[in-house]
Amino acid sequence: MIKTLENSKMAVSFDPVTCSLISLKNKLSGDEYIKIIKKTEVFALSCLDGNNNLSVIKPSEVCRVNTAQNGSLSTMEIEFEVRDIKVKITLALEEDSDKVESYIEIVNNGGLKIAEVLFPRIRGIYLGDTWKDDTIILPHHAGEKTLNPAEEYLKPCFTGMWRAGVRKDEEIHYREINYCGLASMMWIYYYDDKNGFYLSSYDDDFLVTGLRAEVGGTDDHYMGFAIRKYQTINKGEKWRSKPYIISVNSEDWHYGAKEYRGWIEKQIRMPENPEYLDNEYVLMNMYHFRREGIVYTKFSEIPSLYDTAKEFGINHFFMAGWNRQGFDQSYPEYYPDLELGTSMDLYNGCQYINEQGGVPTFYINARIFDINSDYHETMGKRIALKLHDGRMVKEQYGEYKFTVSCPGDAEWQKYIIDTAYWMAKSYGAKGIYLDQLGSAEPYPCYDQNHTHEDSGSFNRGYMTVLKELNKKLSQLNKDCFLMIENCGDIYSSQIWGNLTWNGEVRDEFFNLYKYTFPEFVQVNMVNPKTTEDVAYRTAQFYKDMERALVLGSVLWVNPVFKFHEGDEELLDYLRKAINFRKEMNPYIISSKFVDTDGISSISGDIKVTRWIASGSELYIIGNNSGSGGYFEIPSKECCMKMSTITEGLIVPTYEKRGDTIRITAPPDRVSYVIIHKS
């Protein structure tokens, strides 16, 4: 007999025969979300036998289902037993809520070791009359927003991705991204113009967590969703999850961001960085010291390079490729490369930057170990992350091969912390950039010789590194700070800058992370791409710059090595963009980013973001396509100031329309308007 929890807003139904959730109904819109019934057991356990072979077990029958009402709270308890493993699932729904809170409890009395828990599992979803107008929000790095994922996810731009790509198992096509790093947050959102679906894990243990989005296939257009926890449960042990949230509502993705923010802000603190960093809105990324065996720049040239950066209004000087054999080689042997000069040459270069009031930042990779290093056979293998079968995780970048080190192990933690501290103490670095920390995939580690408590401790290991490093650097120099590649909510709370990069075209949507965490600083790459396609290179440069400026990001540029002969127009625009970003900065640092909240409508192809402060509002307008448009805001009287990237201050064009004001976007690629409310 089908069992249902419901209130005035939503209903969720469970079928004991198939052990599946078979109905999610939005009572406000009248839409049944699960339109294609698939047998999808509500949980699955990945287990290890005595030989570390991994197998998946699922329930085939239910022992008991019980529903109860306690005041305004309705609950459903479902009990299973499979291979001597007892499982209890609890679903709870408050009377006036659009959210089901769920838990899974496991008692392992069997002969297998449980390694992974996949729960909840739901399939067969699309919203409204068609899947074609459905949108998925996925926290892949700073965010993705994909229209019609039921079809788009089957295209080469997703199936061909190295990380985070669509894969296929014996059942279904799927994308599964692990938190924290590859997935920056623990939630997924799926919506159309009348319906919203939110799935999240409120796990304050911050285990390695897989966010899974599934696609039925070319002839079966539906979505599925699940969350995987990497949690070891040995024989005789029991485990109870932290809450999972399923929401059925009628909102767009901003609902999910606010809902998740409401939980996570109770678990983390917002970053506390040196005040001077508020005015660091651009940095020069200098990777051209030594790279792929070629010496481009020696340490003795750092002062002249910094002087060139200053001519562009750049104060922050970022250095990579300074280490032994250069960029992406001999990691983690972080010693100055002898071909580039002596340790004193490097020190003198940093000293020059500091004396000029600049900000020297050093790159170190916090994740990988070069297989060709003399130390790999000993230290490298010892601290390497080990999968369930004992294999090390190997990765290749260009011609260079590495193993992934385990951040949950104290030896690797100490090495990262001591190396970063040494760079600050010995060379006068103010910034330390930890590459890959918030970008590459987190894994479980099963090496019992490591110091971590559990296989899913990857994220907690990096948190130990960041907290301890912050403490030590602050004691050494109050001006020190940390940066990481890409982002992750718990990591971003400990650092200044998140390098959210613009990779291949795959529906990147950095607004997601910016809206959820307006306090976290995004650094966006805006250098022209390396390609012989001049038209594409030019168009992408303007597009990337528009996005960075509209989001109020820090600009990541290199006017010396990334602009070539024939790039005079782009280089001139770069100067204007830096000056424009400087002009906006006082408004950006004193306002809160709220994306499009409070904007009544946006026409055409323009992009608009809203920033609110006491007594004023900032609107940054992107019109890179040149097609023009307008936006409307609810207001009767106001005083405006408008400026564009190439023209400077201009007279704004606007129209009062009852209780709204319609503001026309200037023809320039990027502009802003300050509105002082009367």
Domain boundaries, given as residue ranges, for the chain: 3-264, 275-365+428-441+456-589, 592-677
pLDDT digits (tens, 9 = 90+) for 189-224: 999 999 999 999 999 999 999 999 999 988 899 999
Backbone angles phi, psi at 568, to 5 degrees: -60, -40
pLDDT digits (tens, 9 = 90+) for 99-143: 999 999 999 999 999 999 999 999 999 999 999 999 999 999 999
Report pLDDT for 282. Answer: 98
Domain 592-677: give its CATH code.
2.60.40.1180
Q: Is 138 in contact with 177 (CB distance < 8 Å)?
A: yes
Contacts of 316 (CB under 8 A, 6+ apart): 280, 282, 283, 284, 358, 359, 361, 431
Report pLDDT for 77. Answer: 98
Q: Return d(Cα 614, Cα 591) in angstroms, integer.
A: 8
C-alpha distances (whole Å) from 186 to each of 115, 219, 263, 421 are 19, 30, 11, 31
Q: What residues in the chain have per-residue pLDDT under 70?
A: 502-505, 678
Q: Is 330 in contact with 370 (CB distance < 8 Å)?
A: yes
Q: Is 305 in contact with 559 (CB distance < 8 Å)?
A: no
Select 275-365+428-441+456-589's CATH number: 2.60.40.1930, 3.40.50.300, 3.20.20.80, 3.30.70.360: 3.20.20.80
Report pLDDT for 273. Answer: 96
Contacts of 238 (CB under 8 A, 6+ apart): 105, 106, 107, 108
Q: Return d(Cα 291, Cα 328) in angstroms, integer.
A: 8
Report pLDDT for 235. Answer: 96
CB-side exposure of 527: number of CA atoms within 13 Å?
19
Burial 221-242 (b: 16+ CB within 10 A, else e): bbbbbbbbbbbbbeeeeebebe
Find the angle CA(417)-CA(423)-CA(428) to the nearest 5 degrees: 135
Q: Is 512 in contact with 462 (CB distance < 8 Å)?
A: no
**Class of domain 3-264 as given by CATH:** mainly beta
